[in-house]
Amino acid sequence: MEIAASRPNRTSASTDMGGTFDEAGVGGFGLEALGFRLRASDMAPRTVRRSMKPVDVVRVGPLHDARERRQDVAAAEEPLEIRLQGSTFVVTMRTPGADRELAVGLLVSERVIAGPEDIGTIRHCGGATDEGAENLLDVMLVGAAAVRAEAALGGRRLVTTTSACGVCGRRSIDELMQDVPPVTGRWAMAAAVVAALPGRLRGGQTLFDETGGLHAAGLFDRHGTPVAVAEDVGRHNAVDKVVGAQLLGERWPLPDLALFVSGRTSFEIVQKAVVAGIPIVGAVSAPSSLAIELARAAGVTLLGFVRDDTFNIYTGEERVAGR
């Protein structure tokens, strides 16, 4: 498997999780890289510039009669065109950074990629100075995955997915879940560990600290230790980034990890977890009714309203231990 960017002279630095990142985006790899818990001050300058954009704001004071003009930063949102075998597969809106991981996670959830062996090359398109090259990513698959790619391209309507939309452009939910085996991980997470997950996820949201405008997803072991945390304007994109990083690191599937997300849990978040074999999914807010139905059918433990040391168990109570 070759992971490459079109630009030469890439700069890199170490993350605080033992991986690497580069100017092409947060979470560049070194296939040993497992996560994205980066301090903004540690990032390569180009990565920071692409993840955040300067904006001018007028700040209204607490008495509503004082206004101050100042410069702030906003979370970046840009289109990423993902190509399969040179043909456009989807255009998705995302926060730049960890684009390769995002593409791989998306292709896993779309059932195009089944494992690390399916990936030939992942390259940003164009030359180093080509305008927009950083927003074009070409994925070349090998073996049976190349055949699946052709079928996926033929059966997919070209869409632009927004940062609020996860599973888009497929013909039906049944197609997405066809032949996906039920989740089998039988371990349990202590209730106290579950209750601590929001704080541990929040500790990895360095770009949120700067912008206040990003969702996060994290993978945690049974002790609540973070394995990977990613941020994006789209919650589903953040999930794709952490899942894709694990596959690129050749750690696959993920029956020994739990997924925790900021905000709510919708169907596509649970679907991505099921395809990755993740047995526990939790969130700060509520799940949708369809997310609950899918979790129950697939054997996933689904947790919601995890906050203030309490939470709800919607499905799979047996995976939540006492203290």
Tokens of 55: 């904006």
Q: How is residue 265 annotated by DSSP?
A: B
CB 278 within 8 A of CB 257: yes
Catalytic residue among 31, 165, 286, 313: 165
φ, ψ of residue 292 in degrees (nearest 5): -65, -45
Helix spans in the chain (H): 45-51, 99-109, 144-155, 173-177, 191-202, 206-211, 235-248, 267-276, 289-298
pLDDT value at residue 14: 29
Give me the pLDDT at residue 166, please. Answer: 53
DSSP state of 179: T
CATH architecture of 189-321: 3-Layer(aba) Sandwich (3.40)
Residues in contact with 53: Cβ distance below 8 Å, sequence separation at least 6, in sequence order: 73, 74, 75, 76
State the SS3 of 48-84. Answer: HHHHEEEEEEEEECCCCCCEEEEEEEEECCEEEEEEE
> What CA–CA distance (Å, rounded) separates 20 from 130?
25
Let me know: does 134 contact 270? Beta carbons within 8 Å: no
pLDDT of residue 85: 95
161, two tokens: 């997915």
**Burial environment of residue 296 by CB neighbours within 10 A (0 to 12, 13 to 18, 19 or more):** middle
Per-domain boundaries in the chain: 189-321
125 is catalytic: no
Give me the residues paired with residue 321 across strands.
190
pLDDT along the chain (323 residues), means of 10: 40 30 31 34 52 94 91 94 94 95 96 95 76 89 96 70 54 65 91 97 90 94 97 96 97 97 94 96 96 93 97 98 87
Report whether the peptide linkage leading into residue 253 is cis, meaning its omega lies within 30 degrees of zero.
Answer: yes
So what's the pLDDT on residue 21? 29
